Amino acid sequence: MLTQVRIVGSGLIGTSIALGLCAHGIRCQMVDSDPAAERLANDLTGREKTASPELVIFALPSHAIPQVIEAEFALNPNSTFMDVGSVKNEPLLYVKASSLPLERFVPTHPMAGREIGGAAAARGDLFATRSWVITPDASCSKESIALVNELIELLGASVIKLPADEHDRAVAAISHLPQITASLLAQSLNSTPSNWLELAGTGLRDTTRIAASDPGLWSEIIYSNRAEIAPLARKMHEALGELIAELDDKSAIAQFIDRAGIGRARIPGKHGGKARAYAYLPIVIDDKPGQLAAIFNECKSISVNVEDLTIEHSPGQLSALIMLALSSADAQLLSDHLSAIGWNVHPILN
């Protein structure tokens, strides 16, 4: 059972883990090669000391693990160790080359993060509802895996077990290639006149959002997983070349867009696991305090649960369009109810 955890590295992930564990009464000590970062993280997390931590977490870039591994193992010879890096073959190689026995090391990768880093951006709820991959070697002990599972579940995440090789191939496809694609598109905007950019819709914003990520962190990730990324990037390069060659052929373009729709439909929904089909209820409201409260009061009065909500409005306008995501039954119930009492409700979108 976890009572004490030592966290080596006080960036976003390490500090978020500490914040989440502190809330469960687990004592966490944060250490960092940068004294200022260590002080900040300890201030945020209660400045605890651990004498004999059950678990030591390498919460630093994978390439920095060799710099701390021997000292940490000497200091904590009976602890289980885990890391949290985005690529999983690399730390395994470092551990194999060290004194730390492989049966007490669990490579892990929490599928959570933010576009901004550092202890100040940390949140104890960063991992809530997310997947957290573990890629233990065949020689890894049951006790070590159990400790790591306990930590992940305490933080509100779900454990997914995969071989390290498979993890690295998976994240190349679902995370690293999307990062490269978004970055390619975003850098094409460097020479776009700014009045053109003012015409941009949500499409451009959504496709480039992750391009704002940290270059230091992402160059490490892409570099370290380049063996898995390269074939995917080459395949994409080839597909783009083919499209360019076929721009005079309307049916080839249609097939290109069509194949993309099939790929897109394979991604599970926002809430993990299977995609959930929501109905969407558009309501035009006055853009002033109290309107949303009034709508949510109506939802409550008829026991309708709102799954998600978006708001569209411009600063200069007096009305806003809100879109509630609901189950189909709730959408119909709410639409009838709000219409009857005079709200500006638009037809449900399925």
Considering only residues 239-278, where is the footprint of its own copies by CB under 8 A?
239-241, 243-244, 247-248, 250-251, 253-268, 270-273, 276
46: contact with its own copies by CB under 8 A? no
What is the spatial distance between Cα 106 and Cα 161, in angstroms, rounded to a whole number? 11
CA triplet 269, 270, 272: central angle to 5 degrees?
Answer: 75
What is the spatial distance between Cα 88 and Cα 109, in angstroms, rounded to a whole number? 8
Residues 277-296 that bind its own copies (CB under 8 A): 282, 284, 287-290, 292-293, 295-296
What is the spatial distance between Cα 206 and Cα 143, in angstroms, rounded to a whole number? 42
237: contact with its own copies by CB under 8 A? yes
| Identified binder of its own copies from the candidate list 25, 78, 196, 277, rule CB under 8 A | 196
Q: Which of 325, 274, 275, 273 lies closest to 304 in space, CA to CA? A: 325
Residue 115 vs 143, nearer CB to its own copies: 115
| Identified binder of its own copies from the candidate list 211, 279, 338, 345, rule CB under 8 A | 211
Give the strands of the sheet with 80-83, arranged side by side: 27-31, 4-8, 55-58, 80-83, 105-110, 131-134, 158-161
Residues 11-40 that bind its own copies (CB under 8 A): none
Residue 80 vs 213, nearer CB to its own copies: 213
The stretch near its own copies (CB under 8 A) out of 7-15, 64-72, 90-98, 182-190 is: 182-190
171: contact with its own copies by CB under 8 A? yes
Residues 145-164 that bind its own copies (CB under 8 A): 156, 160
9 burial level (CB within 10 Å; 0-12, 13-18, 19+): buried
Number of residues that bind its own copies (CB under 8 A): 136
Q: Which amino acid is at 98?
A: S
